Every structure is written in C-alpha cells, then in structure tokens.
Amino acid sequence: MPDKLMNIPKNSLLGNKIIYLDKVDSTSDYIRRELETGEITEGTVVLAGCQMKGRGRAGRAWESPPGGLWFSVLLRPRLPIDAMALLSLVFAVGISRGLDRFIKYRCEIKWPNDIYLDQKKLAGILLETSVSEEDVYLIVGVGINVNIDRDELGSLSSMAVSLCDYSSAALDLDSILEIVLQYMESYYLNFLHQGFDEILKEFKAVCLHLGKRVEIACSSRIVSGINVDIDSMGKLLVDTGIDIEKVSAGDVRVL
C-alpha cells in the first residue's frame, strides 16, 4: 500500500497529507500525540496496515487486522458543539455513499454512524473532540472491513461483514480510500456551506431502523418504541406509546 499512496489524488482538505504506518496502537491516538508537538496539520490522514488497540464507540474494541482500511483524519471545524455532533451523521452518509461505488448492494446506516451491509456491521466511525480557549480539533476515526476473512473478525464474526463478501471483483484498498476520502470531503464541505437539511434526507433514506421498533440503551435508562423520525439536530424520535422521546445518544437495537 505505501508505494501506491503517492498516486492518490490529494483533496483540498481531507487527505492533503497521508501518513502510512504498518502498525500502530490506534491512528487516532497517533494524531493525538502529534497534536502535542504541534506538527500535524488539518486534513492529515493517518492510515495503518493494522491497529493493535483499535476502538469504537463507548471504548469497545475494534478488530483491525491487515486487509481493512483503518484511518483517522484531523479537522478543525469552526462550529458550535451541537453542530459538531451532526458530523457523525454527515460522515456516515458520505462513507456509505462512497462504499456503494464498489458493490451492487446499498449500504445502510444504524444511527448515529455505523454502516451496515446485509444487516451486519461493515464500517464504523468514532469522533473525538477537544474544545478549549486555545484549540478546537476533531479526530474522525474510520474503520472499514474490506478484504478480511470472517475468522479474522474474532468475536465479532457473527455481527460483522467484509466488503469483499459482496463484490465480484478484487478490491484495492487504495482505490477505496481515494473514493471514501473524496465523499467524506464533499459531504463535509457541503455541510459547512449548505447545512444539514439535504444530508438528513439522505440519512433517513438509508437508516436501517427508521419506522421500526427499537430499543436504545442510553447512559442511565432504556428507551423502547418505534423510531418515527430523526430531527434537525440528529436526535432519534421514538414513540414509546406514551409520548415521543428525543434521544441524543445511545446504542440502538432493532427489535
């Protein structure tokens, strides 16, 4: 992969610089360490052949063996905190649209940012932010199962899937990275300039549980009911049978 990376066209922002590492604890942790030295610029992508300590939402382990795309991007969005939270949904739509280019099937999204194929998890996104008077940054961590055998997915093999299982042609990691970064940048810039309305429509069109009965594990309670909508702030609207609950964070399970 490293030799081919030089041939990937550079976007105006995401991927204007690409750092490749054969092995790392996690690409997001690498960026965080580099931020302490002040030597990493906005738009830099850190890509790893494998991660030893990849993680997903809520600190869960993310299996990251060779054959997948494991990367993080550094951004410095000048946005209010509530608007930054919408970027989970924005990047989920962008990445799913990019991956659609390589398969005959359409990716779906489990709120807020897990990308599914055939009811199994294909890719995940983890956003980590820091806001202070001195600095504002966002690290977008992305993991995509591309050319990974089922037995390499470990304990997640019954719940996860790899892109190669649904493609009739060999999949080139560099080509997928190029397209995914293009779509991520396009949706990100569109969000900054045009807002969330049109992207929200796209999100709803591929949301795998909209209109279905769900159970959402929030920090201190369980919300159950029918997911009737997603509002302009990216919150799930759940009809519990008693009232409409707005859920801003939690793990969704489709019943």
pLDDT tens for each residue of 1-42: 555 565 666 778 998 999 999 999 999 999 999 998 878 999
Long-range contacts of 163-166 (CB under 8 A, 24+ apart): 163/99, 163/102, 163/103, 163/117, 163/122, 166/103, 166/104, 166/105, 166/117, 166/118
Residues 124 and 229 in one domain: no
Q: Give the chain's residues under pLDDT 70.
A: 1-9, 53-63, 132-133, 151-157
- Rounded CA gap, 121 and 107, in Å? 10
Residue reference for tokens 């359409």: 106
Residues 123 and 58 in one domain: yes
Q: What angle do CA 223, 228, 229 make, to 5 degrees?
A: 105
Count of structural domains within the chain: 2
pLDDT at position 53, please? 60
- Rounded CA gap, 15 and 165, in Å? 27
Residue type, 69: L
Residues 25 and 60 in one domain: yes
pLDDT at position 197, please? 97
| SS3 (DSSP) at 9 | coil
Q: pLDDT digit string (tens) for 71-80?
A: 999 999 988 8
- Could you give the percent of the chain with pLDDT greater than 90? 68
Instruction: Indicate the average pLDDT of the chain.
Output: 89
Residues 240 and 126 in one domain: no
Contacts of 56 (CB under 8 A, 6+ apart): 62, 124, 126, 143
Q: What DSSP string runs through 164-187?
A: GGG-SS---HHHHHHHHHHHHHHH
Token reading at 124: 């995940």
Residues 120 and 234 in one domain: no
* Residue 140 φ/ψ, nearest 5 degrees: -105, 105
**Domain of residue 215, residue span:** 209-254
Residues 157 and 234 in one domain: no
Residues 175 and 133 in one domain: yes
pLDDT at position 6, please? 53
Question: ω into residue 112 within 30 of 0, thus cis?
Answer: yes
pTM score: 0.91
pLDDT at position 23, please? 92
Q: Find the CATH number of the domain harbouring 92.
A: 3.30.930.10
pLDDT at position 116, please? 97
Give yes or no for a contact between 176 and 100, defined as CB atoms under 8 angstroms apart.
no
Host H or E run for residue 95: helix 87-100
Residues 108 and 14 in one domain: yes
pLDDT at position 187, please? 97
Give yes or no for a contact between 62 and 143, defined as CB atoms under 8 angstroms apart.
yes
Residues 190 and 219 in one domain: no
Token reading at 75: 């951004």
Residues 108 and 192 in one domain: yes
pLDDT at position 135, please? 77
Residues 198 and 218 in one domain: no
According to DSSP, the residues that pair with 139 across neighbouring strands are: 74, 128
Give yes or no for a contact between 174 and 5, defined as CB atoms under 8 angstroms apart.
yes
Residues 125 and 82 in one domain: yes
